[in-house]
Chain A
Amino acid sequence: MKNLKTLAIAMMAALGLVAETALAEYPDKPITLVVSFAAGGNADIVARLNAEALSKELGVPVNVMNKPGGAHIPATMSVLDKPADGYTLFNWSPPSFMIVPLTRDVPYKPLEDFTPLFAGISASNALYVSADSPYKTFEEFIEGAKSKKLTIGVNNLGAPPNLSAVQLASEFGLEFKTLALKTVPKTMAGLLGGQVDVAVGQVASIHKYGDKVRPLIILDNNRQDFFESDLPGVRTVGEAVPGKQAAVWVHGGLAVKAGTPQPIVDKLLEASKVLGTPEFRAKVPKSVSYNWIHGTEAVTKNIQFGIDLYSPILDGLGLLKK
């Protein structure tokens, strides 16, 4: 009897050990990283840099697969269609985890169906005019925008730059003609070409356009350390006019399907620590801002902050899903 018990314990231990080694072996085949943007943009580039660094840490290839379009839903669903085994990673971003689920019926719930690992790529918006614009300062711009309906360039309707513009308009009682030019670089080019009077770009956009454009104001009162290195001396809305609100939430990072075994999540969290090091940051292009948040709990809290921030603005636009 005693022997039998020992045998049972031994067997259980063996089974446990087997289970342990099965997990310990992760990863033993290539990992796919699904990106919901087309190849070549900022999000894709940072995802590829992430993939390269993770591949080195984990010892298996991490392959980027672009699935652009369809309001990011096909890409998101393609991850949820796969087993929760840590072999399919998702490059989450404001549209897939925030704007799209807030504005339309989607077959997923970002914070319930995914376990976020970290946030890296980030952005804050800034208001730009072309270098030869009559508006030299933010104050002159506000005066001008009150006397004349200016054309404002944003990337997409409902995207963070558009939401920044909406917030600016409502805080200062302005009215704009809004032109959606698809991407941030095209929005900035619209400024150079004279198609728009003023454009919402990112704080880091200055690195591409230098003295061809003039930054007027940073559309984010939550001062980040990259503001001073990108746009030295440029004020935020709240600094220029105390009491006026301006906020941006643009973050992105990696997530796995919810239900992925904790040891695998832990292994991915451990491996992704390298993505927060100064060495990795140095590889991220200058025109991309980076704001490192690591760990499921911290990232979930950050995403919830964004949902609370954008829900009322989207509601004001009549876009919020009821």
Chain B
Amino acid sequence: MSEAVRVRRKLAFRNAIQVAGMLPILVLLGIMFQLLSGWVEAGNLSGAWAEGRFMSWQNLSIVMQQASINTVLAAGMTVVILTGGIDLSVGSILAASAMVAVIASKLEGLGLLGIPAAMLCGLLFGAINGALIAFMKLPPFIVTLGSLTAVRGIARLIGGDTTVFNPSLPFAFIGNGTLAGLPWLVVIAIAVILVTWFILRRTVLGVHIYAVGGNPDASRLSGIKVWAVILFAYALAGLYAGLGGVMSAARLFAANGLQLGQSYELDAIAAVILGGTSFVGGIGSIWGTLIGALIIAVLGNGLILVGVSDIWQYIIKGLVIIGAVALDRYRIQGSARA
């Protein structure tokens, strides 16, 4: 075996480990919840696996649906964090877009317009974030902290601070229907992941996103339009948040500007970080984010199955996020030394 081949194999292996990242944790959590939920049922460990309810097809489908909206938000967040930024406003944008979606869905005969209207609404808010950051050179944290609050206000304003309903929502199938056995929510989440992967890994823009996050000064000097990359990242995060708005409106047949999407941005950020994306930008993958979002959903679902109280769910979720990332650090250091 030639030296070049050996080095290439080593790099491929390391790459695989990086992509797999948190996958072992996800699998471990799944096994643990299967055993624990079975133990709760059967009362002993010997029959626990067979009795477990976690790994039933029905429950896994629920987990994926629960993960879907966060996955979509986290995909946009991944792109933003890869450029070295952060977007705190996605939860609020989701709420505003959901309001727009439900209100537009009431248009006689044109109800399906609610989908593009909501996505356009998200795109618009995202583009405003991006423009402020790219052209006025304001820090992303500050800009999106501002829009977190402002867009939340707008979301309440849109519906006159009430909950808007549409019991005959023309796109209700998105929230409740299936496509070839897969829930539409899951289909959309998978599509978003694939599109994001394609942008990041198959296009010039994707390379520029990594470059801007890795070294903004060098990016400018090597002729990359840094402003365009940043504008794109926030606009995409906004667009995905708008899509998230459609998804959540379709599930609930309703939207509420005050409550919808509260602290969703934190779950999205947690998914990205669990997925191994570097907070300073330039390093990370969309597959990691998918696994991160699934871990968060599995935790939520599994703890309920096992019968852990709401309060303890919060505590355990928080600790698992910190612990998983700590473990990841340790693992990366270990492999670098080897």
Are A and B a genuine interacting pair, yes or no? no
Report which B residues bind A (CB closer than 8 A). none
Report which A residues bind B (CB closer than 8 A). none
